[in-house]
Every structure is written in structure tokens, then in C-alpha cells.
């Protein structure tokens, strides 16, 4: 499946080349325009159109899990007749930034985020009360890769080189800057100046902090955050394996070497109900393509015969940036 019928070469360049490394300069869109031999106004116009049509979720940043804030993957089992109701209650939580229906008895999956673990715990407790279901809390143990990109040429973008994360680089006030990036930069000639004005800080200071946090690995990337389904990546599966601790490192590294494996991480199991420890995401343009990637990944990582489950995503109820900082007066 090709999406070039919807996007001309300039759109493709904007969507492919700047999913990472948005210029951290006062006029980033002018810098992009110069690289494409365009005017700044045309770049702004095109990005506004791509956002309006749903190809772009936002232009902004991602925060590495459990660095400047806290997060967890969670799930509940909802009967078919209550899926919309339960997903709606979960999605209404401000700290929930992703919520999906997946093909499994444990079917509604979501990510709860917040400025600290207490905030995440409170979100999970409210979800349990609102839905009446037990909530699986599958905390991150080790990320192998949590930074994904999607190209328009039929393959995911190359994974970035692994980086160490230095949380000592975080300073007071950084949470508000990261939150602005997670919500999305305005599509204006000087987007960082607009963020700085809203925070009551100088533009130069805000840019300096974004650069420092990016170099420290706290900010995963700053760029064009696309809606992968709109680009044709519609057959997406979370694959989980019950791998012993001693084998997780080697298996995780091997999985990342397989094209089509876009995310990989270790999570804490939840007893007999959910014994799985190693996770990866496969994003593909068809289910046969996804299953072919899974076959190659299973062989490469030596996971044949290991207890596993494949959970294809059926519906997306919510997808947005993480909750890193809560504004004064907001509900906890």
C-alpha cells in the first residue's frame, strides 16, 4: 500500500525527514524551508494542512519513560458490550495518553502518565473504581528502544543509536517545558518563543533547556509526530514473551535488529494472569506482513517455542503526548 497518492514529494520530505531532529533554533521552520529550497510560509502552510487532515498528531517532543515523569502500561478485561463505555472512562483520565482495543481477552490497553508515581497510582485506582475491573499494572523495567518513526517508503525509519539517559540534567521548571513539547508546538514562525511567552521565560533559555534535555536523553526526540495509521501502518501488534531474566538482554537486542520491530522493552510480569516479560511492537501495512516480521523476529531472537501472545490493535481511542507536569489548580 502506498500513500504517495495523498502526499506530494514535499509532503513526504516533511513527514519523513523531520520526525526527529526538528531544528532547535528560533525559526525551525525557516531552517527546514532552507533545506528544501522553499519559503518558510509554504512549510508552515503544509504542516498546518497535514495536521488538519490527521497525518500529523503534533509537532513536538517525547519524554523518555520514567525520567522527568512516571508512566506505566496498564490493561483491563472488558466484555464486548462494555468496550466503548470502559474505554471512554479510561480515556477521560488526563494522565492516560494512549488507549487501544487489542485482540485478546485482556483487551483494553492504556498508558498512564503523570509527574510522579503517586499520580500514576491514583489514575489506576480511579480507573479500577470507574470500571469495576482489576487493572494490570505492567511497569517498565528496561527499555531497549522506545523511539519510533514511520516512513512513507514502506519501511519504518532507522532506529536511533542507543543513548544513555542522565536524569541529573533535569532542573526545576523543566517539567513545564517538556509538557509544552508533549502537547505540541504551535505552527508559527517562532514556536519556541510562543512556548517561552506562555511560561514567562526567555526564548533563549527555553531553547537551551530543550537542547540540554535532548543531549541528556530525557527528551527522546523533537520533531513531527505522525499518526501512523494515516500513513498506512494499519496492522500493528504488541507481541509478548515469557522470557527468563538471564535471556532478556540478548533477546531484546536481537529483536531490535529485525526491520519492522519498532519498539522493544522489558516489563514486570503480573503473576499467572500475565507472566510476560519481553515486549515488542510490530507496525506493518497488512497482517500477513506483520506476521512475516514476527516470524523473522522470533527466529532472530531465539524465541521459538517460548510462551507468547500476539495482540493486534483493533481500535485507537486516544493518542496524545504524555502528562509530565500538572498546572496549578488542575485535578491530581
Chain centroid to CA 270: how far? 23
Confidence (pLDDT) at 326? 81
257: cell is 535488529
DSSP conformation letters of 125-137: HHHHHHH-S--EE
Whether 138 has a pLDDT exceeding 90, the answer reads yes
Report CA dihedral (115, 72, 331, 132) to the nearest 10 degrees. Answer: -160
Whether 107 has a pLDDT exceeding 60, the answer reads yes
235-241 and 308-319 strand pairing: antiparallel
52: cell is 488538519
CB distance 150 to 233 below 8 Å: yes
- pLDDT category of residue 149 using cuts at 50, 70 and 90: low
Confidence (pLDDT) at 227? 87
Confidence (pLDDT) at 253? 93
The number of C-alpha atoms within 13 Å of 57 and in the hemisphere containing its C-beta is 25
Confidence (pLDDT) at 314? 96
Average pLDDT over residues 255-281: 94
Whether 2 has a pLDDT exceeding 50, the answer reads no
Report CA dihedral (92, 94, 97, 98) to the nearest 10 degrees. Answer: -20
246: cell is 538471564
Confidence (pLDDT) at 146? 66
The number of C-alpha atoms within 13 Å of 216 and in the hemisphere containing its C-beta is 18
Average pLDDT over residues 145-163: 60
Give residues with Cβ within 8 angstroms of 4, minimum separation 6.
12, 152
CB distance 315 to 252 below 8 Å: no
The pTM score is: 0.90
Q: Name which residue leads in pLDDT, 210 or 6.
A: 210
DSSP conformation letters of 14-80: HHHHTSS----SS-HHHHHHHHTT--HHHHHHHHHHHHHTTSEEEEEEEEPTTSSSEEEEEEE---G
Confidence (pLDDT) at 153? 58
Average pLDDT over residues 142-148: 78
CB distance 32 to 24 below 8 Å: no
Return the closest-CA partner of residue 274 out of 307, 304, 319: 307
- pLDDT category of residue 331 using cuts at 50, 70 and 90: very low
* Average pLDDT in the chain: 91
Average pLDDT over residues 188-207: 98
Q: Name which residue leads in pLDDT, 24 or 325.
A: 24
Looking at the DSSP bridge assignments, the partners of residue 280 are 239, 264
From 53-62, 97-106, 303-312, the region with the lowest mean pLDDT: 53-62
Helix axes 245-256, 287-300, angle to 10 degrees: 130
Whether 294 has a pLDDT exceeding 60, the answer reads yes
Whether 35 has a pLDDT exceeding 90, the answer reads yes
Amino acid at each position: 500500500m502506498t500513500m504517495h497518492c495523498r502526499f506530494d514529494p514535499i509532503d513526504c520530505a516533511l513527514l519523513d525527514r523531520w520526525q526527529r531532529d526538528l531544528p532547535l533554533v528560533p525559526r525551525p521552520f525557516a531552517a527546514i524551508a532552507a533545506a528544501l529550497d522553499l519559503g518558510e510560509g509554504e512549510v508552515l502552510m503544509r504542516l498546518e494542512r497535514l495536521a488538519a487532515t490527521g497525518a500529523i498528531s503534533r509537532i513536538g517532543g517525547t519524554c523518555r519513560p520514567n525520567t522527568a515523569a512516571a508512566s506505566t502500561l496498564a490493561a483491563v478485561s472488558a466484555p464486548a458490550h462494555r468496550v466503548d463505555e470502559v474505554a471512554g472512562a479510561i480515556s477521560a483520565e488526563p494522565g492516560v495518553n494512549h488507549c487501544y482495543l487489542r485482540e485478546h481477552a485482556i483487551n483494553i490497553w492504556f498508558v498512564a502518565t503523570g509527574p510522579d508515581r503517586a499520580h500514576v497510582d491514583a489514575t489506576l485506582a480511579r480507573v479500577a473504581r470507574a470500571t469495576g475491573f482489576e487493572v494490570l499494572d505492567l511497569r517498565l523495567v528496561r527499555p531497549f528502544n522506545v523511539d519510533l518513526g514511520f516512513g512513507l517508503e514502506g519501511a519504518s525509519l532507522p532506529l536511533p543509536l542507543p543513548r544513555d539517559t542522565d536524569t541529573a540534567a533535569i532542573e526545576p521548571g523543566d517539567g513545564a517545558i517538556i509538557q509544552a513539547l508533549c502537547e505540541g508546538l504551535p505552527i508559527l514562525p517562532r514556536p519556541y518563543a510562543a512556548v517561552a511567552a506562555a511560561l514567562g521565560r526567555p526564548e533563549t533559555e527555553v531553547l537551551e533547556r530543550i537542547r540540554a534535555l535532548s543531549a541528556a536523553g530525557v527528551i527522546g526526540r523533537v520533531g513531527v509526530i505522525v499518526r501512523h495509521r494515516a500513513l498506512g501502518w494499519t496492522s500493528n501488534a504488541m507481541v509478548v514473551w515469557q522470557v527468563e531474566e538471564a535471556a532478556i538482554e540478548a533477546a531484546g537486542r536481537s529483536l531490535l535488529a529485525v526491520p519492522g520491530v519498532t519498539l522493544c522493552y522489558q516489563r514486570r510480569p503480573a503473576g499467572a494472569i500475565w507472566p510476560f516479560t519481553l515486549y515488542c511492537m510490530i507496525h506493518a501495512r497488512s497482517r500477513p506482513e506483520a506476521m512475516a516480521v514476527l516470524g523473522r523476529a522470533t527466529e532472530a531472537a531465539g524465541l521459538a517455542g517460548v510462551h507468547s501472545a500476539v495482540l493486534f490493535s483493533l481500535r485507537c481511542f486516544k493518542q496524545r503526548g504524555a502528562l509530565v507536569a500538572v498546572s496549578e489548580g488542575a485535578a491530581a
